[in-house]
């Protein structure tokens, strides 16, 4: 009895604990909400209670006096002059320019001394400006099989003096230059590099910057920082960051040094050399908004302004809040190919940003932008256009940046469901999308790549947007843009881009235009390739042929396809797969896109160096120089359409559809129009070729190389690091342009884009190629899954 | 008087208002949708019901779900009963019982992780089989998938059911056994004539709970095999999930109504058997 | 008591079922080992080094040749994965707290509404009581997917999507605990209540002073089951929550495409399992008493 009582008491106690726990849990919830999304504009925080806060920074392009191929630094000097130092894009010379009127008019400050223009014995690798207009230049002198870093100081008027500083050898590291594990090295023939004369490098300066007017910070390749007096080159102090795993970026603000990684920001007082107490608020904001790209200070380091991919922020040291001044998602600051180099705060309401911008309108890829506070513009645009895609789409992000610049009343809220590494499956993402659309909270514009397009059209999820296309009659590849057009001319989905399944190989292995049966009858012609990717590529070129009238698949045709594919593939060799490289010349460096691993250039090296007999892949970007470089390595090499059962197939990409429940249908249509306009179409990265003819030509014709003497040299990584392909970047020959255009025009069949079928085919097809399953068996397994799917 | 009559209902009221808001209201919406088109909301009569009856995916899912329920529940209940009888007389029973209960506390995500490593075509099970000189197979992509699901259900719920049975067994008064033994009845006879009849009420609860839990294996099946698993484990929930994703709310609603009607029938049937057993 | 046990023991020995008993125990032990294996598997995987995991699980995780194998104990135990989970993934804590909020929020709701409802069903008569109870039972058995869309629309109307309350409230009004607790309250003799009423007790006093104390083990049983259910909730958060910072622990599973990720997945699994295990072991006794009450007729 006593025991029972005890138990009962325990029971009640337990329930009480549960209850308390839950209350505590729920009240804690309130604390999570604020601070999670730092919205709103700093300058307008007071008016936040009102219906519509006013005031926003607007972006403008600043016209630079010359074409810069590189900007080293930009600064607002003590006397109010804006000074920019960089490389002249026309002749590669170094140059310094001043503007006394915030960037409207520019004049050359002085001529650069000959020591810095000496391209024979070395090259300039960077430079930095001081508040009073001096500059320090890093000149890498190539001599005696090594590189010596020389620092030159130019005073305000351009007279040169060498800073007597000798960079000590890096501790514990001796790097040989040939082991550079990069697969892309685009270089404009800067001279000393590339002739292979450098045998060893003991250390290199990776970054330099001024600390006040008479000291500089020099960062070496082990992230050791030397605090040096410009007068006598003596090292006042050193700081070491080599132990941290993460890449560090270094900035100065007054006498403070800010060391930033992707997760933290450390601040040092350079007068004492001590690390300052951690700034909690700054730390928190770094975790939220990511890498610092550029830093500036207007009050001698009391506070800093900094740029990240999320926008411009301001932080006062010792303060408790970080304010966001510019939301990067509303302008270029958040664009994917935008890499800020320098930030110059002119005053609290005006600033300049110099950036490497792959999509800059100015040639050379460097752009200068001015941001000006506009008090009578709403802080947040009144119209919100929701754009949704499964996969991150760089072209789309770029287009959104540009579109918002011209439409300050529209805020484009873009969500890429799968971009974060959150373990979410496509199916989960689509389910969430479904609920949102049904609740009327869904996106206005859908980028349908990876979604069941056919099904969405049938269910009436999408709106007819044929009216949008009507204006552009004749400007597009009609064969492609009408991929989803119905008999009545209604268009529920419109591909804004496309990929061409292409093949390249020597005449013995591949003849452009040959059909699938002939191609696959050559036993082992596909040997050495990665099984999964091979199946997927041929699924694109063949899948559309398997569909019967009633929408089901033809099992016989699948068996036939698998049998032939296996014949062409030959024996599976695991070792070969593991050793082969899969990096292309020009696709490196970019962010991962949906089709990157399937691209033709992914297999360039394997084809050129004999590991593949034929290279096949989906081309979302055609680079003639690259194709010809590979062709030259082959015996009578040629390229053309990839053999397939379905005829001339193309893969629609960036397929646009407007939700039939869209809250902003007109704005969405306007945006679709913009996405199909030359301005947006030309910004091709890796997501596909433009459907707009003029843009298509401008993407393939290589006009940007006209009159230049640029070489591309690429090496592969991993086991085959000694392989190199080099070619000159030149305008594409006229007949090749015609050939490619004819190829694009010949495409008639959109590839079957059904992820459920695709997944089943890849899973089973891979087994066949690996020799783990017979074609009949695999076809049965595919049919079994697909039949359930189609019956639903 | 009227107030007194409804007195009990006041106790239910807080719960019922929540149930009405979060379950009955949505259910009413489902019923409404079952007569409408998927997205356009046009009245469609009983055409949705006709559509699902002729739908092969629906039939497959129904067949599999019934097959699954009929195979796993009896096995589980009987196995648990056997274990419970064996365990209830022993002083070490508690330890073993705890071991059986452990899987229930394992989160579905973790179970899926283990399952994936075990039943992969290059997984652990095939490794052991190879050591025994047997040929392995791709377990989740063949007919075996069904039995893996059954096993996984039994594995997860055995401890639970054992506990239920043991509680039932503990409720049977020792006096009855003693009386029987005095009359010279053997172990087996005692079991048949005393234990089993006395367990009948427990049987009802255990069946309902086992049935309820049989729906939960979907989590593991889904996490391991995705939207389109092997056809032998394609269950009603897979179908619902896929219909949902593809905006087929018309068919989904109709099937949901059919399913709830079947559930109603089942419960009534069970209750009837139970009531007759109790009297 | 003593007497009874003696009699039983005698009986068994007389029958001479020692061999059979041994066999029975053997079978039970094997079954228990099978039941426990996955738990061992996770625990030992969670303290296994990256290299070791990589070589054992390589074939499954990263498509290496051969079969995966797995020893019972790691050769070089390490707590690295736990460090990784705790220190290097700040989202893990957020998820943990989300889980705690969801679970205890739901349980608190069930404790309030569910207990009262069970009491009402068990101890009072009112019109259509049977019908109401039937509705509760059907709702208890209805799979989540059936009501998914409509549920979402209701929650959306109430402004509860992308909000933990959107998970907590429907859970709090789940009908399952009512079913469990009902069976317990029903057993309570009406005569007891009647005599208390005659002594002038109010209805709520009956509930608080008689119902709750006597029903405590039934209530706890329902809470334990509720804990297990909501601690490993998957479908609801995936459907109703969009923001990552609201996700509960139960849907945290790093993609196991590399050895280090599988190590983290193991560690995260064990950490998730641990609270559930504690609650379970603590509440096991109540579970037994609680669930079966009422179903057992004297």
Find the mean pLDDT for residues A663-682.
90
Q: Is the pLDDT of residue A253 over 80?
A: yes
Residue A574: C-alpha distances to residues A527, A545, B120 (Å) = 11, 31, 19
Residue B173: its pLDDT value, please? 76
Residue A717: its pLDDT value, please? 55
Kindly report, as residue ranges, where domains of CATH 1.10.3720.10 are found in chain C.
Answer: 88-257+271-292
C104 → closest Cβ in A22, A423, A438: A22
Q: A693-700 and A734-745 helices cross at what angle (nearest 10)?
A: 140
pLDDT tens digits, residue range A192-215?
A: 343 444 445 678 888 899 998 889
- The answer to whether B199 and B110 are in contact (CB under 8 A) is no
Would you tell me how many other CB atoms lie within 10 Å of the CB of residue C125? 11
Instruction: Find, in chain A, the residue whose alpha carbon is nearest to that of C222.
Output: A15
DSSP letter assigned to residue A165: -
Q: What is the mean pLDDT of chain A?
A: 80
Does A604 lie in the same domain as A544? yes
Residue C172: its pLDDT value, please? 93
Q: Is the pLDDT of residue A162 over 60?
A: yes
Length reported for chain B: 279
DSSP letter assigned to residue A648: S
B105-226: CATH topology: MetI-like fold (1.10.3720)
Does A544 lie in the same domain as A471? no
Q: Is B122 on the interface with A (CB under 8 A)?
A: no
Does A645 lie in the same domain as A602? yes
Instruction: Find, in chain A, the residue whose alpha carbon is nearest to that of B121.
Output: A772
DSSP A684-730: -SSS-EESBHHHHHHHHS-GGGTT--EEEEEE--GGGTT-EEEEEE-
Q: Is C163 on the interface with B (CB under 8 A)?
A: no
Find the mean pLDDT for residues A379-402.
86
- HEC per residue, C153-169: HHHHHCCCCCCCHHHHH
CA distance B57 to chain C (A): 16
Alpha-carbon gap, residue B256 to B235, rounded angstroms? 13
Q: Is B26 on the interface with A (CB under 8 A)?
A: no
pLDDT tens digits, residue range A218-237?
A: 998 888 899 999 888 888 88
Q: Is the pLDDT of residue B184 over 70?
A: yes
Q: Is A784 on the interface with B (CB under 8 A)?
A: yes
Instruction: Find, in chain C, the residue whose alpha carbon is nearest to that of A578.
Output: C64
pLDDT tens digits, residue range B18-37?
A: 999 999 999 999 999 899 88
Q: Is the pLDDT of residue A74 over 90?
A: yes
Three-class secondary structure of residue C111 per DSSP: helix
B259/C151 Cβ within 8 A? no
pLDDT tens digits, residue range A87-97?
A: 887 777 889 99
A431/B245 Cβ within 8 A? yes
Q: Is C244 on the interface with B (CB under 8 A)?
A: no
CA distance A491 to chain B (A): 19
Does A712 lie in the same domain as A675? no
Alpha-carbon gap, residue A305 to A294, rounded angstroms? 8
**Strand positions, DSSP E, A1-108:** 54-62, 68-76, 82-88, 94-99, 107-108
Share of chain C above pLDDT 90, in %: 13
B6/C269 Cβ within 8 A? no
Q: Is the pLDDT of residue A672 over 90?
A: yes
- HEC per residue, A241-285: CCCCCCCCEEEEECCEEEEECCCCEEEEECCCCEECCCCHHHHHH
DSSP H or E segment with residue A122: strand A122-129
Closest listed residue to residue A104, CA positions, set A60, A55, A58 = A60
* Chains touching C by CB (3 or more pairs below 8 Å): A, B
CA distance B193 to chain A (A): 32
Three-class secondary structure of residue C227 per DSSP: helix
- HEC per residue, chain B: CHHHHCHHHHHHHHHHHHHHHHHHHHHHHHHHHCCECCCCCCECCCHHHHHHHCCHHHHHHHHHHHHHHHHHHHHHHHHHHHHHHHHHCCCCHHHHHHHHHHHHHCCHHHHHHHHHHHHCCCCHHHHHHHHCCCCCCCHHHCCHHHHHHHHHHHHHHHHHHHHHHHHHHHCCCHHHHHHHHHCCCCHHHHHHHHHHHHHHHHHHHHHHHHHHHHCCHHHHHHHHHCCCCCHHHCCHHHHHHHHHHCCCHHHHHHHHHHHHHHHHHHHHHHHHHHHHHHC
C254/A435 Cβ within 8 A? no
DSSP letter assigned to residue A547: B
Q: Which CATH architecture has domain C88-257+271-292?
A: Orthogonal Bundle (1.10)
> Using CA of residue A41, residue A44, residue A45, residue A48, what is the dihedral sign?
negative
Q: Is the pLDDT of residue C255 over 70?
A: no
Does A762 lie in the same domain as A638? yes
Alpha-carbon gap, residue A232 to A210, rounded angstroms? 15
Residues of chain C neighbouring B33 (CB-CB closer than 8 A): 149-150
Residue A558: its pLDDT value, please? 93
Instruction: Find, in chain C, the residue whose alpha carbon is nearest to that of A12.
Output: C216
Give the count of domains, chain A.
2
C139/B19 Cβ within 8 A? yes
Residue C71: C-alpha distances to residues B89, C44, C45, C49 (Å) = 35, 9, 9, 13
Does A543 lie in the same domain as A671? no
B60/A792 Cβ within 8 A? no
pLDDT range class, residue C108, cuts 50, 70, 90: very high
Find the mean pLDDT for residues B245-254.
89
B247 → closest Cβ in A459, A772, A784: A459
Does A599 lie in the same domain as A548? yes
CA distance A767 to chain B (A): 11
Find the mean pLDDT for residues A526-541.
88
Helices and strands: H and E segment counts in chain C: 15, 0
pLDDT range class, residue B257, cuts 50, 70, 90: very high
Does A749 lie in the same domain as A703? yes
pLDDT tens digits, residue range A521-531?
A: 988 888 888 88
Asked if residue A89 belongs to a domain, the reply is no
Residue A685: its pLDDT value, please? 64
A10-24, A176-190, A673-687, C143-157, range with the lowest pLDDT: A176-190
C149 → closest Cβ in B204, B244, B268: B244
Residue A746: its pLDDT value, please? 92
Find the mean pLDDT for residues A488-510.
90
Alpha-carbon gap, residue A65 to A80, rounded angstroms? 19
Q: Is C169 on the interface with A (CB under 8 A)?
A: no
**Predicted ipTM of the assembly:** 0.83
Q: Is C292 on the interface with A (CB under 8 A)?
A: no
Residue A39: its pLDDT value, please? 37
Closest listed residue to residue B105, CA positions, set B159, B62, B151 = B159
Residue A652: its pLDDT value, please? 92
Residue A50: its pLDDT value, please? 46
- The answer to whether B102 and B159 are in contact (CB under 8 A) is yes
- HEC per residue, A374-402: EEEEECCCCEEEEEEECCCCHHHHHHHHH
pLDDT tens digits, residue range B261-272?
A: 998 898 888 888
C285/A14 Cβ within 8 A? no
Residues of chain C neighbouring B218 (CB-CB closer than 8 A): 143
Q: What is the mean pLDDT of chain B?
A: 85
Residues of chain C neighbouring A28 (CB-CB closer than 8 A): 97, 101
Find the mean pLDDT for residues B133-149.
82
Q: Is B257 on the interface with A (CB under 8 A)?
A: no
pLDDT range class, residue A28, cuts 50, 70, 90: very low
Q: Is B55 on the interface with A (CB under 8 A)?
A: yes
- The answer to whether B247 and A456 are in contact (CB under 8 A) is yes
Residues of chain A neighbouring B226 (CB-CB closer than 8 A): 425, 427
Share of chain C above pLDDT 70, in %: 83
Say which CATH number the domain at A458 has.
Answer: 3.40.190.10
Find the mean pLDDT for residues A146-161.
87
Alpha-carbon gap, residue A82 to A99, rounded angstroms? 5
pLDDT range class, residue B91, cuts 50, 70, 90: low
Alpha-carbon gap, residue A150 to A142, rounded angstroms? 10
Residue A504: its pLDDT value, please? 92
Q: Per residue in B216-243, is it b (16+ CB within 10 Å) or e — as a string? A: bbbbbbbbbbebbbbbbbbbbbbbbbbb
- The answer to whether C250 and C53 are in contact (CB under 8 A) is no
Between residues A284 and A356, the one the model is more confident about:
A356
Strand ordering across the sheet containing A710-715: A185-187, A710-715, A724-729
Three-class secondary structure of residue A69 per DSSP: strand
pLDDT tens digits, residue range C181-205?
A: 887 788 788 888 888 888 888 888 8
C284 → closest Cβ in B27, B101, B252: B101
Residue A742: its pLDDT value, please? 92
Q: Is C184 on the interface with B (CB under 8 A)?
A: no
Asked if residue A598 belongs to a domain, the reply is yes
Q: Is the pLDDT of residue A73 over 90?
A: yes
Would you tell me how many other CB atoms lie within 10 Å of the CB of residue A35? 11
CA distance A770 to chain B (A): 14
**For residue C290, with 0-12 CB atoms within 10 Å meaning exposed, 13-18 middle and 19 or more buried, which class applies?**
buried
Q: Is C239 on the interface with A (CB under 8 A)?
A: yes
Find the mean pLDDT for residues A589-602.
61
Q: Is the pLDDT of residue A479 over 60?
A: yes
Q: Please give the angle made by the CA atoms of C53, A596 and A645, to the nearest 5 degrees.
A: 110
B228 → closest Cβ in A434, A461, A785: A785
Alpha-carbon gap, residue A238 to A554, rounded angstroms? 71
The distance of Cα B261 from the centroid of its chain, to the nearest Å, equals 17
Q: Is the pLDDT of residue A443 over 90?
A: yes
Residue C125: its pLDDT value, please? 86
pLDDT range class, residue A40, cuts 50, 70, 90: very low
DSSP letter assigned to residue A306: E
Find the mean pLDDT for residues A52-57.
81
Q: What is the mean pLDDT of chain C?
A: 80
Q: Is the pLDDT of residue A724 over 90?
A: no
pLDDT range class, residue A405, cuts 50, 70, 90: confident
C216/A15 Cβ within 8 A? yes
Closest listed residue to residue B249, CA positions, set C225, A352, A337, A461 = A461
Does A603 lie in the same domain as A491? no
Say which CATH number the domain at A756 has.
Answer: 3.40.190
A420/C244 Cβ within 8 A? yes
Instruction: Find, in chain A, the residue whose alpha carbon is nearest to that of C154.
Output: A439
Q: Is the pLDDT of residue A10 over 50?
A: no
State the Rg of chain A over Cα.
Answer: 30
Find the mean pLDDT for residues C145-167.
86
Q: What residue numbers bound the domain in which A508 lies?
A: 498-653+690-791
pLDDT range class, residue A624, cuts 50, 70, 90: confident
Asked if residue A70 belongs to a domain, the reply is no
Share of chain A above pLDDT 70, in %: 82
Residue C190: its pLDDT value, please? 84
B22 → closest Cβ in C120, C146, C170: C170
Could you give phi then psi for residue A374, rounded to 5 degrees? -120, 110
C105/A22 Cβ within 8 A? yes
Three-class secondary structure of residue A296 per DSSP: strand
- End-to-end CA separation in angstroms for chain B: 31
Find the mean pLDDT for residues A163-185.
56
Best-predicted range by mean pLDDT (A19-33, B19-33, C242-256): B19-33
The structure tokens 């080099």 sit at A726
Closest listed residue to residue A387, CA positions, set A432, A354, A417 = A417
Between residues A131 and A309, the one the model is more confident about:
A131
Q: Is the pLDDT of residue A730 over 60?
A: yes
Residue A66: its pLDDT value, please? 85
Q: Is the pLDDT of residue C285 over 80?
A: no
Would you tell me how many other CB atoms lie within 10 Å of the CB of residue B254? 27
Between residues A32 and B168, the one the model is more confident about:
B168
Q: Please give the angle made by the CA atoms of A496, A500 and A503, to the nearest 5 degrees.
A: 165
Asked if residue A216 belongs to a domain, the reply is no
Would you tell me how many other CB atoms lie within 10 Å of the CB of residue A463? 18
Residue A3: its pLDDT value, please? 42
Find the mean pLDDT for residues A40-61.
60
Q: Is the pLDDT of residue A280 over 80?
A: no
The structure tokens 């129009």 sit at A673
C60 → closest Cβ in B120, B155, B208: B120
Best-predicted range by mean pLDDT (A72-76, A466-470, C33-37, C266-270): A72-76
The distance of Cα A562 from the centroid of its chain, to the nearest Å, equals 36
Does A648 lie in the same domain as A509? yes
Instruction: Find, in chain C, the residue whose alpha carbon is nearest to that of B89.
Output: C8
Alpha-carbon gap, residue A342 to A550, rounded angstroms? 60
Find the mean pLDDT for residues A487-506.
90
pLDDT tens digits, residue range C199-230?
A: 888 888 888 888 888 888 888 888 988 998 89
């Amino acid at each position: 009895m006593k025991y029972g009582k005890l138990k009962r008491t325990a029971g009640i106690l337990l329930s009480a604990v549960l209850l308390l726990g839950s209350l505590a849990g729920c009240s804690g919830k309130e604390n999570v909400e604020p601070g999670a999304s730092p919205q709103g504009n700093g300058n307008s925080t007071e008016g936040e209670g009102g219906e519509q806060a006013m005031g926003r920074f607007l972006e403008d392009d600043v016209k630079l006096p010359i074409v810069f191929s590189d900007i080293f630094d930009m600064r607002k000097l003590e006397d109010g002059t804006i000074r920019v130092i960089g490389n002249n894009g026309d002749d590669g010379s170094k140059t310094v320019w001043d503007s006394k009127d915030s960037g409207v008019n520019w004049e050359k400050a002085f001529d650069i001394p000959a020591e810095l223009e000496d391209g024979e014995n070395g090259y300039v690798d960077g430079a930095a400006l001081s508040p009073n207009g001096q500059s320090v230049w890093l000149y890498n002198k190539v001599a005696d099989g090594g590189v010596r870093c020389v620092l030159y100081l130019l005073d305000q008027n351009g007279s040169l003096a060498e800073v007597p500083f000798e960079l000590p050898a890096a501790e514990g590291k001796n790097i040989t230059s040939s082991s550079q594990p990069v697969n892309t090295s685009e270089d404009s023939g800067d001279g000393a590099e590339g002739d292979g004369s450098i045998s060893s490098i003991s250390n290199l300066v990776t970054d330099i910057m001024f600390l006040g007017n008479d000291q500089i910070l020099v960062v070496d390749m082990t992230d050791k920082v030397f605090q040096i007096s410009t007068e006598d080159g003596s090292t006042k102090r050193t700081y070491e960051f080599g132990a941290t795993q993460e890449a560090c970026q270094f900035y100065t603000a007054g006498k403070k040094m800010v060391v930033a990684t992707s997760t933290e920001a450390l601040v040092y007082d350079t007068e004492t050399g001590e690390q300052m107490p951690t700034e909690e608020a700054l730390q928190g904001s770094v975790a939220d908004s990511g890498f610092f790209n550029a830093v500036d200070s207007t009050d001698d380091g009391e506070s800093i302004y900094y740029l990240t991919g999320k926008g411009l922020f301001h932080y006062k040291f010792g303060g408790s809040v970080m304010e966001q001044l510019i939301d990067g998602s509303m302008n270029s600051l958040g664009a994917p190919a935008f890499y800020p180099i320098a930030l110059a705060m002119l005053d609290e309401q005006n600033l300049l940003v110099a950036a490497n911008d792959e999509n800059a309108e100015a040639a050379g890829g460097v752009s200068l932008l001015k941001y000006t506070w506009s008090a009578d513009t709403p802080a947040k645009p009144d119209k919100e256009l929701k754009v949704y895609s499964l996969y991150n789409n760089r072209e789309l992000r770029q287009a959104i940046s540009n579109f918002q610049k011209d439409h300050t009343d529209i805020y484009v809220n873009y969500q890429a469901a799968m971009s974060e590494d959150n373990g979410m499956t496509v199916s989960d993402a689509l389910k969430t999308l479904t609920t949102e659309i049904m609740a009327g909270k869904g996106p206005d514009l859908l980028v349908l790549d990876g979604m069941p397009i056919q099904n969405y059209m049938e269910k009436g999820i999408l709106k007819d947007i044929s009216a949008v296309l009507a204006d552009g009659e004749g400007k597009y590849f009609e064969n492609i843009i009408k991929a989803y057009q119905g008999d009545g001319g209604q268009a529920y989905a419109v591909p804004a881009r496309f990929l061409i399944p292409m093949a390249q190989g020597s005449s013995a292995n591949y003849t452009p235009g040959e059909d699938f049966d002939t191609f696959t009858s050559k036993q082992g012609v596909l040997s050495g390739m990665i099984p999964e990717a091979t199946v997927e590529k041929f699924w694109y070129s063949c899948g559309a042929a398997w569909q019967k009238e009633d929408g089901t698949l033809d099992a016989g045709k699948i068996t036939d396809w698998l049998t032939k594919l296996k014949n062409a593939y030959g024996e599976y060799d695991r070792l070969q797969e593991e050793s082969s490289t899969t990096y292309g010349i020009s696709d490196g460096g970019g962010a991962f896109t949906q089709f990157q691993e399937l691209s033709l250039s992914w297999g360039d090296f394997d084809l050129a160096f004999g590991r593949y007999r034929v290279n096949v892949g989906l081309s979302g970007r055609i680079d003639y120089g690259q194709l010809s470089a590979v062709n030259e390595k082959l015996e009578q090499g040629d390229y053309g359409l990839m053999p397939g059962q379905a005829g001339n197939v193309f893969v629609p990409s960036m397929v646009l559809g407007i939700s039939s429940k869209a809250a902003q249908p007109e704005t969405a249509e306007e945006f679709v129009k913009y996405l199909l306009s030359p301005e947006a179409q030309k910004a091709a990265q890796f997501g596909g070729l433009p459907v707009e003819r003029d843009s298509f030509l401008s993407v393939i014709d290589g006009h940007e190389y006209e009159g230049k003497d640029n070489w591309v040299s690429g090496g592969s990584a991993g086991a085959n690091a000694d392989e190199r392909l080099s070619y000159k970047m030149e305008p594409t020959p006229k007949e090749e342009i015609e050939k490619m255009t004819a190829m694009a025009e010949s495409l008639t069949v959109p590839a079957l884009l059904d992820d459920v079928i695709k997944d089943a085919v890849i899973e089973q097809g891979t087994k066949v190629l690996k020799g783990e399953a017979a074609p009949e068996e695999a076809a049965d397994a595919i049919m079994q899954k697909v039949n359930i799917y189609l019956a639903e | 008087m009227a107030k007194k009559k409804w007195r009990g209902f006041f106790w239910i009221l807080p719960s019922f208002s929540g149930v009405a808001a979060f379950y009955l209201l949505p259910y009413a919406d489902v019923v409404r949708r079952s007569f409408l088109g998927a997205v356009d909301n046009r009245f469609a009569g009983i055409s949705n019901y006709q559509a699902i009856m002729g739908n092969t995916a629906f039939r497959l899912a129904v067949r599999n779900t019934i097959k699954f329920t009929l195979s796993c529940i009896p096995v589980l209940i009987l196995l648990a009963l056997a274990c419970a009888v064996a365990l209830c007389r022993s002083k070490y029973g508690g330890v073993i019982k705890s071991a059986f209960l452990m899987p229930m506390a394992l989160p579905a995500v973790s179970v899926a992780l283990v399952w994936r490593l075990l039943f992969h075509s290059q997984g652990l099970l095939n490794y052991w089989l190879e050591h025994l000189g047997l040929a392995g197979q791709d377990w989740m992509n063949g007919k075996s998938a069904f039995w893996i699901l059954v096993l996984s259900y039994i594995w997860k719920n055995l401890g639970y059911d054992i506990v239920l049975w043991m509680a039932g067994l503990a409720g049977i008064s020792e006096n009855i056994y003693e009386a029987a033994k005095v009359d010279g009845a053997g172990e087996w006879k005692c079991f048949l004539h005393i234990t089993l009849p006395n367990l009948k009420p427990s049987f009802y609860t255990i069946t309902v709970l086992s049935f309820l839990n049989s729906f939960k294996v979907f989590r593991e099946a889904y996490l391991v095999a995705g939207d389109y698993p092997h056809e032998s484990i394609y269950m009603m929930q897979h179908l619902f999930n896929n219909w949902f994703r593809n905006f087929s709310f018309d068919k989904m609603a109709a099937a949901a109504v059919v399913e709830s009607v079947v559930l109603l029938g089942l419960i009534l049937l069970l209750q009837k058997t139970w009531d007759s057993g109790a009297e | 008591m003593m007497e009874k046990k003696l009699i039983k023991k005698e009986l068994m020995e007389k029958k001479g079922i020692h061999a059979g008993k041994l066999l029975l125990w053997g079978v039970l032990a094997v079954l228990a080992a099978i039941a426990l294996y996955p738990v061992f598997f996770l625990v030992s995987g969670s303290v296994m080094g990256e290299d070791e995991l990589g070589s054992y699980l390589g074939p499954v995780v990263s498509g290496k040749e051969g079969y995966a194998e797995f020893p019972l104990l790691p050769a070089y135990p390490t707590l690295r994965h736990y460090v990784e989970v705790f220190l290097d993934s700040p989202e893990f804590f957020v998820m943990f707290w989300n889980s705690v909020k969801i679970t205890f929020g739901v349980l608190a709701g069930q404790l309030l509404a569910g207990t009262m409802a069970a009491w009402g069903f068990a101890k009072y008569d009112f019109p259509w009581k049977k019908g109401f109870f039937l509705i509760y039972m059907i709702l208890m058995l209805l799979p989540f997917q059936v009501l998914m869309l409509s549920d979402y629309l209701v929650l959306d109307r109430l402004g509860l999507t992308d909000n933990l309350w959107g998970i907590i409230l429907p859970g709090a009004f789940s009908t399952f605990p009512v079913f469990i607790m009902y069976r317990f309250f029903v057993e309570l003799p009406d005569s007891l209540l009647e005599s208390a009423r005659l002594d002038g007790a109010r209805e709520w006093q009956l509930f608080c002073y008689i119902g709750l104390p006597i029903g405590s083990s039934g209530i706890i049983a329902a809470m334990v089951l509720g804990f297990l259910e909501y601690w490993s909730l998957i479908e609801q958060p995936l459907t109703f929550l969009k923001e990552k910072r609201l996700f509960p622990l139960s849907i945290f599973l790093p993609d196991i495409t590399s050895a280090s990720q599988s190590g983290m997945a193991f560690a995260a699994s064990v950490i998730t399992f641990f609270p559930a295990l504690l609650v379970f072991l603590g509440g096991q006794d109540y579970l037994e008493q609680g669930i079966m009450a009422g179903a057992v007729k004297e």
